[in-house]
């Protein structure tokens, strides 16, 4: 068989538990990609199988993760797409509504109010469908990052560079999201954050104004948001590409290459949406913000990024 990212290369077939893997993982020429076929184990980098490599590195506390490695990796992949990935896309699109023509911030205010129409259900929905899946995906991602063997130096392929970038952008995105939640969400109020407000003291709209005021509060905030948003978008778009391989949807090199182009276009488009939203808030008239506002609970920035 040919390497999924490098068709001219040869690769072996190995078996992990009941699952058979063939060839090099798109990130790791020494790794494996599932083929769905049963086959006797063969040597990969001097190790009879990936399961033996894991056993050699394991402790008693790690046996559960090894036994359920196949399931855990797919749950990690799935959580990054649904609901976290879907939320990121909707979040950035909602924020970009600040650029809509008409009264500045009007459309953004309406978009946020539609979300807050959930009323008392908003907080449980946020916790169950955003925060918990996000924490699961992030913590498991860090575990994978710190236990994996990066080979970008040994194998200077673009796919290995994407492997490294996926880990680093995931770390940046995690820190950025923590800061963003502290800055905008009412969760951050006890620690001096929670700047976002849906309405001011008179009941008037203040979603765009309070968001803009928070982003314009210091010179470094907008650049930090730019780095955070771009890292999040790269992590998502590249994660979609790898998920298609993980789930066996794009197995052949040709389909992986085609899906790579599609995911790249998606990533560029979403990055433009995110940067447009950031520019909208950065240039929004800060003088329109009212200093005294009433508390409106929800995920900041309209649930902004």
Among 138-152, 190-204, 252-266, which is the least confidently predicted range? 138-152
For helices 221-246 and 207-215, angle between their N-to-C axes, nearest 10 degrees = 100
Q: Is the dihedral of CA 246, 248, 250, 253 positive or negative?
A: positive
Same domain, 3 and 87: no
pTM of this structure: 0.75
Total residue length of the chain: 305
**Is the residue at 298 inside a domain?**
no
**Is the residue at 303 inside a domain?**
no
Percent of the chain at pLDDT > 90 equals: 61
| Position 285 confidence tier, pLDDT thresholds 50, 70, 90 | confident
Question: ω before 83 within 30° of 0 (cis)?
Answer: yes
Same domain, 247 and 99: yes
Same domain, 96 and 186: yes
**Is the residue at 179 inside a domain?**
yes
Same domain, 213 and 249: yes
| Position 175 confidence tier, pLDDT thresholds 50, 70, 90 | very high
- 109 versus 163: the higher-pLDDT residue is 109
Q: Which two tokens stand for residue 62?
A: 């790690």
Distances (CA, A) of 34 to 11, 26, 61, 165: 12, 11, 26, 23
Predicted pLDDT at 239:
96
**Is the residue at 294 inside a domain?**
no
DSSP code at position 25 = B
Could you give the CA distance from residue 260 to residue 242 in angstroms, rounded to a whole number? 9
Predicted pLDDT at 147:
81
Same domain, 45 and 125: no
Could you give the CA distance from residue 231 to residue 183 in angstroms, rounded to a whole number? 19
**Is the residue at 300 inside a domain?**
no
Q: Strand order in 19-22's β-sheet?
A: 13-16, 19-22, 33-34
Could you give the CA distance from residue 305 to residue 219 in angstroms, rounded to a whole number? 19
Same domain, 40 and 120: no
Domain CATH for 250: 1.20.1300.10
Comparing C-alpha atoms, which of 113, 305, 114, 281 is closest to residue 203?
113
**Is the residue at 296 inside a domain?**
no
Among 60-64, 83-87, 290-294, which is the least confidently predicted range? 290-294
Residues with Cβ within 8 Å of 26's Cβ and at least 6 positions away in sequence, in order, are 4, 5, 33, 159, 242, 245, 256
Same domain, 41 and 147: no
Same domain, 179 and 266: yes
The residue behind tokens 């896309």 is: 89
Same domain, 89 and 223: yes
Q: Which domain holds residue 130?
A: 68-288
**Is the residue at 102 inside a domain?**
yes
**Is the residue at 301 inside a domain?**
no
Q: Which is it for strands 13-16 and 19-22: parallel, antiparallel or unpaired?
A: antiparallel
Tens digits of per-residue pLDDT, 251-283? 999 999 999 999 999 999 999 999 999 999 999
Same domain, 205 and 170: yes
Predicted pLDDT at 292:
40
Number of domains forming the structure of the chain:
2
Same domain, 147 and 219: yes
Same domain, 72 and 131: yes
Instruction: Examine the fold and report which residue of 27, 43, 60 is the final residue of a domain before the chain moves on.
Output: 60
CA-based radius of gyration for the chain: 22
């Amino acid at each position: 068989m040919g390497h999924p990212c490098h068709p001219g290369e040869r690769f072996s077939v190995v078996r992990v538990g009941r699952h058979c893997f063939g060839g090099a993982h798109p990130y790791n020429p020494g790794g494996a990609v599932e083929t769905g076929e049963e086959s006797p184990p063969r040597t990969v980098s001097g190790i009879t199988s990936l399961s033996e490599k894991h056993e050699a590195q394991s402790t008693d506390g790690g046996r559960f993760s090894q036994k359920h490695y196949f399931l855990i990796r797919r749950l990690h992949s799935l959580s990054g797409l649904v609901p976290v990935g879907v939320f990121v896309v909707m979040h950035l699109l909602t924020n970009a509504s600040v650029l809509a023509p008409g009264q500045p911030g009007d459309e953004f205010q309406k978009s946020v109010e539609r979300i807050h129409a959930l009323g008392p259900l908003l907080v449980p929905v946020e916790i169950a469908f955003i925060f918990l899946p996000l924490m699961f995906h992030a913590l498991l991602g860090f575990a994978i990052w710190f236990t994996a063997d990066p080979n970008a130096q040994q194998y200077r392929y673009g796919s290995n560079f994407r492997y490294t970038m996926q880990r680093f952008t995931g770390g940046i995105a995690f820190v950025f999201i923590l800061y963003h939640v502290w800055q905008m969400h009412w969760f951050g109020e006890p620690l001096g954050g929670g700047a976002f407000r849906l309405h001011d003291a008179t009941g008037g709209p203040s979603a765009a104004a309070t968001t803009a005021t928070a982003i314009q509060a210091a010179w470094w905030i907008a650049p930090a948001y730019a780095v955070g948003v771009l890292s999040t978008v790269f992590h998502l778009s590249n994660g979609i590409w790898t998920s298609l391989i993980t789930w066996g949807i794009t197995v052949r090199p040709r389909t992986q290459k085609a899906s790579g182009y599609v995911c790249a276009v998606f990533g560029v488009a979403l990055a433009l949406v995110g940067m447009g939203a950031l520019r909208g808030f950065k240039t929004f008239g800060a003088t329109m913000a009212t200093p005294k506002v009433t508390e409106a609970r929800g995920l900041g920035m309209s649930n902004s990024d």
